[in-house]
Structure 1
Amino acid sequence: MENKQTYTYEEAYEASLQYFGGDELAARVWVNKYAMKDSFGNIFEKSPEQMHWRIANEIARIEKKYPNPLSAQQVFDVLDHFRYIVPAGSPMTGIGNDHQVASLSNCFVIGLDGNADSYGAIMKIDEEQVQLMKRRGGVGHDMSQIRPKGSPVNNSALTSTGLVPFMERYSNSTREVAQDGRRGALMLSVSIKHPDSEAFIDAKMTEGKVTGANVSVRIDDAFMQAAVDDKPYTQQFPIDSDQPMVSKEISARKLWEKIVHNAWKSAEPGVLFWDTIIRESIPDCYADLGFKTVSTNPCGEIPLCPYDSCRLLSINLYSYVEHPFTKEAKFDFEKFSRHVQLAQRIMDDIVDLEMEKIDKIMDKIRRDPQSEDVKHTEYHLWEKIKEKSGKGRRTGVGITAEGDMLAAMGLRYGTQEATDFAVSVHRDLAINAYRSSVKMAEERGAFSIYDADREKNNPFILRLKDADPQLYEDMVKHGRRNIACLTIAPTGTTSLMTQTTSGIEPVFMPVYKRRRKVNPNDADVHVDFVDEVGDSFEEYIVYHRKFLEWMKINGIDTEKKYTQEEIDELVARSPYYKATANDVDWLMKVRMQGAIQKWVDHSISVTVNLPNNVDEALVNKLYVEAWRSGCKGCTIYRDGSRSGVMIAVSKKDKKEKKDADHKESPEPVTAPSIPRPSVQEVRPKELDCDVVRFQNNREKWVAFVGLLDGYPYEIFTGLQDDDEGIVLPKSVTKGKIIKQTNPDGSHRYDFQFENKRGYKTTVEGLSEKFNPEYWNYAKLISGVLRYRMPIDHVIKLVGSLQLKDESINTWKNGVERALKKYITDGTKAVGQKCPVCGQETLVYQEGCLICTNCGASRCG
């Protein structure tokens, strides 16, 4: 029954905070992303308990259609407190939620059969992509069917423009689609066999290009072998044709080196080992019936055929460790096997719920007031998705907390012992998920095109047959309910609610610091930091929840305030030592992925994190090892390889740091004169920099103000803490802007700061990820600053810029605020009237406007 009662944000947050045991981040994420809401923002659930009952009741309703139904209580018990079974975001928000007309699927792939490189076909894919994204779906599609640049076409253009312009089009469409306050997600792929694959690989290396899509290149075994052996490789279009219209021979080694370089430089493209994907794919046993895999979802863990979709669910591995972090630690395989079978059954029920959602989406489209011509593409799109989803009943059972499970068992992530144990868990998961699917086929019927003969030589099926001959015999007899069952997704924010490591990944950091805003006048408040606008903050240590469990179980005081040295000693004693994202054995992590992949019928989303100073040879070695180990794909991220991401570099000499910190400053004067540069002045390589944060509508922005002799000389602005913005600790308020020369002779501007432990950290390329409009205005402002236009005049110039000014929290206001702090106190605000008394008697005082006539004050 639908819950009509609504709750305030504060009520939901407080209830959730209690539910999560005081975990503020988990509580806020749940209320913001997963509590049931309507389009007006009304909240209908105040804690995850209500959400889990909502889901359990819906699953139980579907169960009643079939023999031996699960009760709502049985479902709730495995969902409660995110302990065992955790539906992914789309099912969690959408199941039983009649306030939104949205899909329960996390992943979609689209594409057209045959010749799909006409403008009509390209535009159709663009429209379908947008229609799916507005329903919360992540979308992937392949571009291998678009003819290469320079090919003849039968229109006024005469020759094709190639892939890159259409990459831009699809990317821009993604950036324009909002999904409950977030942008859509897109994966673009292309075959290495395509003659334009090099241009595809290079597209994102150009500043500001294809910023709305992940890109991956589909690499076949022949290309990899040719690259390893330094042999030639033939590209052609069409890529699968016996009589291609375009064909050329290339050096596989040189193109492979470019892939490696770009991945080292920018973390893209990702690589998809396509022959491994197709060879292992069970759905491709039915390729002639429409299940030919063509691309993957945005994170790469679900290879899909056109118009198929998948819903995801994770099992919390940590919860199956008995006596965690002790010598008696044991994994409860019996309970785990039972729950895996339940999870697969719940996933199949969610397929039925998705069919109902698709019917509602189609009904809404029918009732929409637009003409039939406008509605046709969207309606037909969902018809195709419903047909494909119903025919294959694809599911995505996965895991989370792999890193915590291994630590709780006393195993160090990245060792052979840990890998062997992880493989045994995933082997058990695969066997039991398939056993459940076979049992459901017996009770509910197999997916409609099941054919044991088609699958008899599939490597994954043969592995199951070898591991459990009875399972295989039953499958041949009864069929299987689902065409494919398993995946390992990145789990993201859902792992915040399980309070565990994410997906298959190791812990990112077992201990870190955070700050909370405090009132300095309150009793018992300790102020550790005051920001640029005078807000006070208390600094506190945050422990990864399972690291805290390790401390408690091993009798370590969790209330004590530890020094950094003591924290380092604690981590060194723990099973998380040398097992974090940045210090695991990288080669072993790739081999672990390959070993586990043999028991996952879809794919695995995993990232190999590398320090900034590794060379391209290591990236090459890891990619080749991933291919040889049987991985279906691989993503390598070198620290700082994307602009706006922090780079950790070596600790500087403490004496040098101390000397720098204690240089004598010139005696202060009341009104310093402003240095006037000559026209010939060359910008210094390094400038001191102040950091100012502000809001631009709902987005958080940051301004970097470069200073020459204490006076603003240039300004950079950009998004902070965004997927494609600047990631910067809130404690950072000062640093340096360093002008760097790129290998091609162009310039970039990096921001560098030093943390409390004496490490330098660099944010690369301050200009590269910004909205071009704001970047151009920032260049204008920097130009007048360098010629020493008075700051109050610069602020007036900023105020005159023709930008949308719907809120005080706009980009203009933020830039004005960043600059006001540099105006000498007492400077008159020329041409501005006091909003209270109407007199031109405003002066600047500590960044605020003060009226000398009536005393009114305005800041910001």
Structure 2
Amino acid sequence: MIKTDLLEKLNKEPKLSANAVTVLKKRYLKKDEDGNVVETPQGMFQRVALNIANAELKYGSESKYEEYAVKFYDMMVDLKFLPNSPTLMNAGKELQQLSACFVLPVEDSLEKIFEAVKHTALIHKSGGGTGFSFSRLRPKDDVVKTTKGVSSGPVSFMSVFDSATETIKQGGTRRGANMGILRVDHPDIMEFIYAKQDKSKLTNFNLSVAITEEFMEKALKNEEYELKNPKTGKTVKKLNAKDVFDQMVKLAWEGGDPGIIFIDRINKFNPTPKEGEMESTNPCGEQPLLPYESCNLGSINLGRFVKGNDIDWDDLRYVVQTGVRFLDDVIDMNSYPIKEIEQMTKKNRKIGLGVMGFADMLAMLDIPYNSEEAIEMAEKVMKFIQEEGRIASSELAKERGNFPNFDDSIYPGMGFSNMRNATVTTIAPTGTISIIGGCSSGVEPYFAIAFYRNVMDNNKLVEVNPIFKERAKKEGFFSKELMDKIAEQGTLHDIEEVPSHIKKVFVTAHEISPIWHVRMQAAFQKYTDNAVSKTVNFPNDATVDDVREVYVLAYKQGCKGITIYRDGSRDAQVINLGTKEKSPKEEIAQEYHGVFRPRPRPKVLFGKTLEMMTGCGKLYVTINFDENNEPFEVFTSMGKAGGCAQSQCEAIGRLISLVFRSGGDYDIVVKQLKGISCHMRYGFGQNQILSCADAVGKAIEKAIMMGSEFKVINQEKLTVDKLLAEAEKKVASTTEQQIRNGACPECGGPIQYVEGCDVCHSCGYSHCS
């Protein structure tokens, strides 16, 4: 029973933005069996503080339980520190799974591979993400002695993990995410590098190549390197390292995958080498871990420590010390999905104290992100946090004991004879918790100074960066009309009303040279025990050589990995500008000149009828095509269900038919319908039907894709079933593309690729979590 006087001390009200409250209600606050929110934001912070402070009781201190319950609460409610999402979501609830991510081993046997699949399912069910190295698996077509068959290779088995992830639902709070890694000297490396060129495959994976020092040196010298069978250790062939490196660069330029990690550099800083080598990272790459380790992360909101023209170093020191203790307590309060993870995590007790709000700090100090002053500030702040964090961990070890795998031959070099945690600092993605904290994300620059946020009834609300808004008012150029104008483009670049010195400070990600992105990542990496989650943004017109330059710079600057994203590189369709011959549809649009005047219906049309299973029953959707193989009209029938659902579907069909007959583009119709959700869903994964409207949109998309293959049917005599299967595969692919490149699937807001993941800053949706 919690003492009344203790609860009275946890009385400070959090000051949250409307957007933060929306995110909390949707994803974090307790709900009853009917899905109704039954917890306030203040109640959430109380729940988390009291639960994590319970670890103090495990060490026999009632007074410290009360002391740190208050300290933890105040630190969170002041938005100076926030733990990772699983801790906010699950602490003090039945699940009590508090870790964000895990690394699992994948051994070279069928039994061990499917044991890893099973463990993956349990982790994803609990809300965690997983990282794997597939480097131990024998290569494709290698002989399996026990069966005299041949191995299907790492990439084939990755698809099994991908399917398992797609199937597991995470309680509506977090989506499964994986990191797949293969060493650059594995014989199947080229298949791995090309594994995501087909965007419909491995959609639940980020991919990274584990690059060795030897490989990088040979790539820079244009020399050959050896590929070795991991089962036998024998060299099977040689490749030119530069050619392989160039292929990685080219594919990253095309679509972002694969990223790279510098595996030898990661192991150079392995604090427990006697426990084995680190093979993989978590899904966003910032947390290298041994097999069966988990990461427990939290982030300090740097913008909250700006005091005048400087930083309140004393306050920052206090929060670092308290944050280290909080994260160490998380390890003891965690409910682990499998026993192996609990054992390894408690042997090394790794924590990852990171930062967010760095761009806010710079703006408040009047420092441009792309400047030497900003690089110096990054090093100064992170060095302070790392040093103070290690001091806090060392002091905690005197109180509670060293972590069990502590090696006194390693830590004296750092000046410590005691250490509670094998690692202390990590720069992790903060996509959702930065919304709660009302700050910029991680160590990233601003992605927009203002943007439109969708609210109820399809209205748009302008969301303006609060620091910029305050500055605009202070300098006398604020107006609602100006904020609307900025929201239209997101940046200040072409806004004449904004003074030049303000533009220089409030610079956005795509206005910053990729070189500055890498230099900033390297500055933080210099004083980070684990790694740094950071995306290097490129404009759409960046060249392959530009990406290569950044990859090489990341290696030379001491980064542990690199993730890049070229604007628009994941779009499902390239927009071509210029003059071209008009299509029949464009002729129709020109003839009717924008007037909503549907063409007369021919006496004979040909089409296809698709059966779609919905939460309301079977829905039959008929799409008829004109002589140019363009969709002309849509009819719907709800089987035996009828009633309201049938009338709604009939209305949808009539309106769609008017659009098609007036020369409207089917892409627009499909985009409007797909993703509409109701409480009567059917199925799961990418093939889930969210509503009857969603079913109609997906049926039209399938029919169009089948329709475009009529000639193929005649040439290859494909069956309708096979054609439908191909269409469904393409629909799944385009659904993934919508999520990754277009509007947010949950609120329709803009999706941004940040910290190695797709994030919506309007509602908190994250493709990775």
Taking the aligned partners of 2:223 and 2:33, their CA distance within structure 1 comes to 58
1:254 paired with 2:243, answer yes
1:461-519 deviation line (CA, Å, top 9, x unaligned): x5xx4xxxxxx1xx22xx1011111101111111111111101111110112345456x
Q: Which whole-Å CA distance do the structure 2 matches of 1:193 and 1:486 have between them?
A: 30
* Pair 1:780 & 2:703 matched: yes
In structure 2, what is the equivalent of residue 509 of structure 1?
Answer: 448
Correspondence for 1:230 among 204, 222, 225: 222
AA partner of residue 528 (structure 2): V
1:121 Cα deviation after fit: 1.4
Please tell me the residue identity of whatever aligns with 1:104.
L
Question: Which is bigger in relative contact order (C-alpha 8 A, separation at least 6)?
Answer: 2
State the AA in 2 paired with 1:52.
F
* Aligned position for 1:301: 286
Cα deviations by residue, 1:430-474 (Å, 9 ceiling, x for unpaired): 000000000011111111221221445xxxxx5xx4xxxxxx1xx
Question: CA offsets, 1:604-632, max 9 Å, x none?
Answer: 11101111111111011101101111111
Report SS of the residue matched to 2:563. Answer: strand
TM-score, with length taken from structure 1 = 0.67
In the other structure, the counterpart of 1:418 is: 374
| Letter of the structure 2 residue corresponding to residue 500 of structure 1 | C
Provide the rounded CA distance (Å) in 2 between the counterparts of 1:66 and 1:609.
Answer: 50
Q: Could you say which residue in structure 1 is the equivalent of 2:273?
A: 287
Structure-2 separation of matches of 1:215 and 1:668: 48
Matched, 1:212 2:201: no
Aligned counterparts of 1:27 and 1:599: Cα–Cα separation in 2: 34
Q: Distance in 2 between matches of 1:161 and 1:624?
A: 33
Structure 1 or 2: more helix by fraction:
2
The answer to whether the aligner puts 1:92 opposite 2:88 as a matched pair is yes
Cα distance change, pair 125–666 in 1 and its aligned pair in 2 (3 A): closer
**Residue equivalent to 1:178:** 169
- Unaligned runs of 5+ residues in structure 1 are 4-15, 324-328, 362-381, 457-461, 466-471, 519-536, 653-659, 691-695, 727-770, 788-800, 803-810, 812-860
- Counterparts of 1:520-559 in structure 2 under 5 Å? 538-557=459-478
Q: Secondary structure of the residue that 1:250 maps to in structure 2?
A: strand
Residue among 645, 651, 673 paired with 2:600 = 673
Which residue in 1 is equivalent to 2:28? 34
The aligned residue for residue 839 of structure 1 is: none
Asked whether the 8 Å contact 2:209–2:261 carries over to 1, the reply is: yes
Change (3 A) 1:123 1:516: closer
Alpha carbons of 1:602 and 1:704: their partners in 2 closer, same or farther (altered >3 Å)? Answer: farther
Residue 55 of structure 1 and its aligned partner are, at CA, apart by: 2.0
Tell me the percent identity. 30
Which residues in structure 2 correspond to 1:732-743 (within 5 Å)?
A: none
**AA matched with 2:299:** S
Structure 1 residues 435, 786: CA separation in 2 closer, same or farther (over 3 Å shift)?
closer
2:193 corresponds to 1:201:
yes
- Could you tell me whether the CA contact under 8 Å between 1:397 and 1:487 is conserved in 2? yes
Q: Which residue of 2 aligns with 1:63?
A: 56
Change (3 A) 1:315 1:258: same
1:554-569 residue pairs with structure 2 within 5 A?
554-557=475-478, 564=485, 568=495, 569=497
Q: Is this contact kept in 2: 1:109–1:308, CA < 8 A?
A: yes
Cα drift, residue 557 of structure 1: 3.8
Amino acid at match of 2:236: S
1:267 aligns with 2:256: yes
CA spacing shift, 1:670–1:638, aligned 2, 3 Å: closer
Contact 1:706 1:715 in 2 (8 A): no
Return closer, same or farther for 1:71/1:121 CA change in 2, 3 Å cut-off. Answer: closer
Computing the radius of gyration from Cα coordinates, the structure with the larger value is: 1
**C-alpha distance in structure 2 between counterparts of 1:547 and 1:443, whole Å:** 45
Q: Which moved more, 1:487-496 or 1:588-597?
A: 588-597
- 1:628 corresponds to 2:556: yes
Please tell me whether the aligned partners of residues 75 and 81 of structure 2 are also in contact (alpha carbons under 8 angstroms): yes
Equivalent residue in structure 2 for 1:108, among 99, 102, 117: 102
- For the pair 1:145 / 2:101, whether they are aligned, the reply is no
Closer, same or farther: CA 670–437 of 1 in aligned 2, 3 Å: closer
Contact 1:716 1:778 in 2 (8 A): no
Of 302, 305, 319 in structure 2, the residue corresponding to residue 339 of structure 1 is 319
Q: What's the CA shift for 1:331?
A: 1.1
Match of residue 747 from structure 2: none
Residue aligning to 1:468: none
Relative to structure 1, the CA distance from residue 663 to residue 2 in structure 2 (aligned partners, 3 Å threshold; closer, same or farther) is: farther
Q: Deviations over 1:228-257 (max 9, x none)?
A: 21110111011xx8x624521001111111
Alpha-carbon displacement from aligned partner over 1:314-351 (angstroms, at most 9, x marks no partner): 0000001013xxxxx21111211221111111111111
SS at match of 2:194: helix
Structure-2 separation of matches of 1:139 and 1:398: 20
Task: Give the letter for the 1:49 counterpart.
Answer: Q
Pairwise CA distance, 1:143: 0.2
- Does the residue aligned with 1:512 lie in a helix, a strand or coil? strand
CA distance in 2, matches of 1:628, 1:705: 59
In structure 2, the gaps of 5 or more residues are 4-11, 580-586, 607-624, 635-644, 646-651, 677-693, 711-723, 726-733, 735-769
Q: Does 1:480 align with 2:419?
A: yes
How do 1:387-536 residues align onto structure 2 when only pairs under 5 Å count?
387-455=343-411, 465=414, 472=415, 475-476=416-417, 479-517=418-456
Distance in 1, matches of 2:180 and 2:355, equals 26
Cα separation, 2, equivalents of 1:570 and 1:201:
45
Distance in 2, matches of 1:235 and 1:575, equals 50
Letter in 2 for 1:154: K
Q: Does 1:585 align with 2:513?
A: yes
Letter in 1 for 2:349: R
Q: What's the counterpart of residue 77 of structure 1?
A: 74
Cα distance in structure 1, aligned partners of 2:215 and 2:555:
11
Contact in 2 for aligned 1:236/1:244 (Cα 8 Å): yes
Aligned-pair distance for 1:598? 1.4
Paired with 2:75 and 2:318, the residues of 1 have a C-alpha distance of: 11
Q: Deviations over 1:41-95 (max 9, x none)?
A: 353312x21211222223333234366823422222211142x111111111122
Distance of 1:137 and 1:168 partners within structure 2? 19
Listed one character per residue, the Cα deviations across residues 803-830 of structure 1 (whole Å, up to 9, x for unaligned) are xxxxxxxx9xxxxxxxxxxxxxxxxxxx
Backbone CA RMSD of aligned residues:
4.1
Q: 1:651 to 1:155 in 2, by over 3 A?
A: same
How many equivalent residue pairs? 632
Q: Distance in 2 between matches of 1:422 and 1:440?
A: 27
Residue 587 of structure 1 deviates from its aligned partner by 0.3
Q: Distance in 1 between matches of 2:379 and 2:55?
A: 33
Cα 1:202–1:351, aligned 2, differ >3 Å: closer, same or farther?
Answer: same
Q: How far apart are the structure 2 equivalents of 1:146 and 1:710?
A: 56
